[in-house]
Amino acid sequence: MNTMTTNMLKRSLYRVTTPIFYVNSKPHVGHLYSVLLADVDCRWKRFNGCDSWLSTGTDEHGQKIQKSAQLKNISPQQLCDMMSAEYRSLFDIAGVKYDEYVRTTQRRHQSAVQSIWTRLRDLDLIYKGSHSGWYCIADETFYTDQQIMDTVDDDGNKIKVSVESGRQVEWIQEDNYMFKLSEFKDRLIKWITGGDNERSVIYPQSQRNLILSLLQSADGLKDLSVSRPSQRAGWGIQVPDDPTQTVYVWFDALINYLTATGFPSPVWNLQSPKASIEYNATIDNHIVGKDILKFHAIIYPAMLMALNLPLPRRITSHSHITVNGQKISKSSGNAPVEINQLINTYGVDAVRYHLIRETEGGIQNDFDYSESMLRIRYQIELADQLGNLLSRCISKSMNSKLEVPELHKQVLDSTEQKLIDELNRLPELVSNHAEDCEYGRYLQVVVNNLRMVNQYVGLKEPWKLFKQTGDSLSQKNAYNCLYIALESLRISSLMLQPVMPQKTTELLDKLSVPPECRHINQSQFQSALTGRKLAPGHKIHLFPRLPIN
Ligand code: MSP
């Protein structure tokens, strides 16, 4: 076991967060991917014997929501209630197990935001000023002159858009409150570049470098406008003691991570940062899309520094799911599929598997959504590898007694010894990928192993060897083959638990693996399982045939 895993075993609670999702319209497959990564990360830690905690929720304030409700002819609160329920139900259907669900319209969150505001104001880190710039409602972000460009809209009108998101901006000049973000530049750079170099706080490296270059750019880090006039942007949290101003939606939203950990409960004491550390509110992994990394890697840590609160241990930035190379987004309306329909057709675990598996090239790379790829994976990897190995291991011709046979070590050949060695290397290989949330690569390792074992069984043809009843060497060889296949199936099923919790439960139940033996420390090849009875039945269709397209 590597050091990471050993350290995790010692830690009491591993905290992961997802971004909170805008409620301007229904969730799409990109949102599902974002939350799945976090769920898999938490389940991985539990598989390692560590308690984990996942927080998610919905981002319900701001002009974007206000506008969207207006268009639908309903109140913002009605829209928030409706859409927040949609997200919650999607997470339930997708097997996402969360511990906290923060809605920014909740009273607990409003009091967290207002108490943080008051504290920052008392520290003279928030001041009244005026601000001008290009504001993009869709991104809820101000851009500078350098960050925008001219273009024409669908009707041929000249407009200005953000270079980064391509969405329309408008010029705004207004009085508001500013947060002294510029004061934190050096500390932020030190935080990002310092510490344990082996494990950078921002992953992947390319995104870390991007954030660093933003911080080190000639423009430097400017103070941040953290409120909007209520007249223009009234749907939000009121600035304490100033009803004319509403808290900026990103400042409001980022605080959800503190709300989720119980802020501002009595255990939290802003005067005594030590108390908050004892309360163990440190987040181990903020999982965010690359489009919102700068909010999490610059603004939020600066807020925490200002408040003397513990900084996150890691921020993982993932890529986007695209359609024809374009990010799937609510505003472009290019969502290729209804998630519920997808899950109904392929089953929840196959969808989870596919979305995570798509990142085998690394989570820094965008990937195009493809249902045909999902079908191919379902057939070739899930049905033909995992499902097939199970069918073989419980078939009448290979395992008539439905039990784990004896392992005859003295007749193991070099191929078999190599397979056993490979199986024993699996935990370390997958741990290394899991440490960086590279679960696509993690799955690739597991499925490659399954492929090797299936190939070996196909060549060995134990069903033929079993028929040679008078030949004791053939019998021993056949039992060895069955033993290795069963062990490979057990170990792969253990490893696949974080990604496919339902199917692996079925599998491990079938193999009669007791619940207390489903942890990583049980995932080495064992040679003494002889005699364990499998659950009755020679047939099980783990991955049924798909309907023809
Ligand atoms: N509300 C803000 C986050 C505030 S967190 C304090 C927000 N919401 S969002 O609904 O637009 O996006 C939520 C998450 O979904 C982000 O991590 C974003 O990157 C992710 N995704 C949105 N579209 C996506 C894809 N097409 N592909 C992958 N992830 C996608 O930003």
The per-residue DSSP string of 206-221 comes to HHHHHHHHHHHSTT--
Say if ligand 1 is within 6 A of residue 320 CB.
Answer: yes
| pLDDT score at 502 | 98
Task: Locate 479 and state its tokens.
Answer: 């039992």
pLDDT in tens, 350-389: 999 999 999 999 999 999 999 999 999 999 999 999 999 9
Least Cα distance to 94 among 508, 384, 501, 528 occurs for 501
- Could you report the per-residue pLDDT of 442-499, keeping only the tens digit for each? 999 999 999 999 999 999 999 999 999 889 999 999 999 999 999 999 999 999 999 9
Residue 277 CA to residue 282 CA, distance in Å, equals 7
How much is the average pLDDT of 390-412?
97
Across residues 186-213, what is the average pLDDT?
Answer: 89
**Ligand 1 atom closest to residue 328's alpha carbon, by position in its atom list:** 26
| Rounded CA separation 160/150 (Å) | 5
Atom 19 (ligand 1): residue with closest C-alpha?
A: 289
Locate tokens 């590898």: which residue?
385
φ/ψ bin of 140: left (φ > 0), alpha (ψ from -120 to 50), beta (otherwise): left
Residue ranges in 381-471 assigned as alpha helix (H): 388-394, 414-435, 439-460, 462-467
Sheet hosting strand 326-327, strand order edge to edge: 326-327, 321-323, 367-368
Q: Where are the alpha helices (DSSP H) in 134-246?
A: 185-193, 205-216
Residues 6+ apart with CB under 8 A from 317: 202, 203, 204, 207, 288, 289, 290, 293, 297, 363, 364
Nearest-atom number in ligand 1 for the CA of 28 is 23
For ligand 1, whether the C-beta of 34 sits within 6 Å is yes
Q: Whose CA is nearest to atom 5 of ligand 1?
A: 19
Which of the four pLDDT bands, split at 50, 70 and 90, describes residue 280?
low
Tell whether ligand 1 has an atom less than 6 A from the beta carbon of residue 19.
Answer: yes
Name the percent of the chain lying above pLDDT 70: 96
Pocket test for ligand 1, best of 291, 299, 324, 356 (most atoms within 8 A of CB): 291
Q: What does the pLDDT read at residue 8?
A: 38
pLDDT bracket for residue 195 (50, 70, 90): low
Q: Judge whether 246 and 197 are in contact, CB under 8 Å.
A: no
Q: What is the pLDDT of residue 202?
A: 97
Residue nearest atom 25 of ligand 1, based on CA coordinates: 30
Label residue 205 exposed, middle or buried (CB < 10 Å: 0-12, 13-18, 19+). Answer: exposed
**Is 137 or 22 the better-scoring residue by pLDDT?**
22
Distances (CA, A) of 475 to 48, 398, 480: 37, 11, 9
